[in-house]
Structure 1
Amino acid sequence: MAAVERLADAGIPVVTLVTDLPTSPRIAYVGLDNRAAGATAAYLIDQWVPADGAVLVTRGTGSFRGEDDREMGFRATTRSLRPGRRQVELVEVSDDDVLRGLVRDALADPAVTAVYSMYAVGGNAATVAAFAEAGRPCRAFVAHDLDAENLALLQGGQLSAVLHHDLALDLRRACHLVMQAHGALPGTPRSWHSSVQVVTPYNIPGDTVAAPGRG
């Protein structure tokens, strides 16, 4: 926040990318509509998991507004679609071995049959391993971003769907907004939300580059 304020005071336009700082003097945000993404995850799980199934919700370490927004969208939509559905939360887990153990513990609850991973990076292979070690099926596993780990899990049928967005397009849009702020292009800079792409093992984009990144 302080860095954005210093840049703004110096007359340098700032565009937030992937995760927003809405109370900062940034000129615009470009990236995924994270609340809509969380709502999409809730909808997908509702289609695949019986009404009595509980959902394991995992998220990463640290403060990442994008994950906060995903959680809010997921919670609100789950309450709307399945008011009685329980959520079992694992928060602030940064070590895969620790996560695997915590997931195994959570699977002592026989109602846990689905996973929504809000992680921006990593963690999902450990969750898949925990289900396998417990001898438990996972009816639905929804994750974010086609990084190397998720791409392999999706191709292997271990993820049901990945919520993805076109980061290259986001970067081009951010550059466009900065040029507008400098008067090099017409128009006023405005925030822009990427479309939420629901990627399954059968529609993986042909130009996917498996590289880690937050988003």
Structure 2
Amino acid sequence: MLFKAFRSSPLALPLSSMDLPIITPHDALWSQSAVFGFNQYGKAALGFLALKDLLGDAAFRAALHTFMARWNGKRPLPWDMFNSFNDAGVGNHTWFFRNWFFSHNHMDLAVDGVRREDRMQTVAVRNPGGMAIPFDVVVEYADGSSERVHLTPATWQADGRRTEVRIAGGKVLRTVTLDTGIYVDANPADNVWKAEAAESR
């Protein structure tokens, strides 16, 4: 995927120099062309896609139209967009805007373990990067079947660093993979849990 390839290249550089808040004034980035393009275009686009994932298509469209109608022909600031979305009847998402537009967070998730309780299995997920990104939990069972569970950014609202995903049913797990899609993970090596590796510890 072209967009994912575009996102991957900046991650080869040190995160501390690349992951600046989206709100960083563009004139402060003119001397760093790679950072400018990544921050003002790639990261900002991902932020809007994450917001759309959080709200759902219909609510996102309604909030966006509210913003456009309110500020058509004027000169809105980022805060005007944030407030328009919050005023559009889709809830207060200041926590999301703060996370995506004002923080130095980056995209990095990790499987922290799996525990089984009766017919419920719980996947513990860490967010060392701190960014409120959507992701899928892809579960492969010992019988060859698989399941995919989607988590929106809302999963990070209460605790931005840890969450748990519950998988119902008594099937034996073989692997658990975190699929972040176009939200390119800085360290994909820790996105996979394997039953064999866990049992050998």
TM-score w.r.t. structure 2 length?
0.26
Point out which structure has higher relative CO (alpha carbons under 8 A, 6+ apart).
Answer: 1
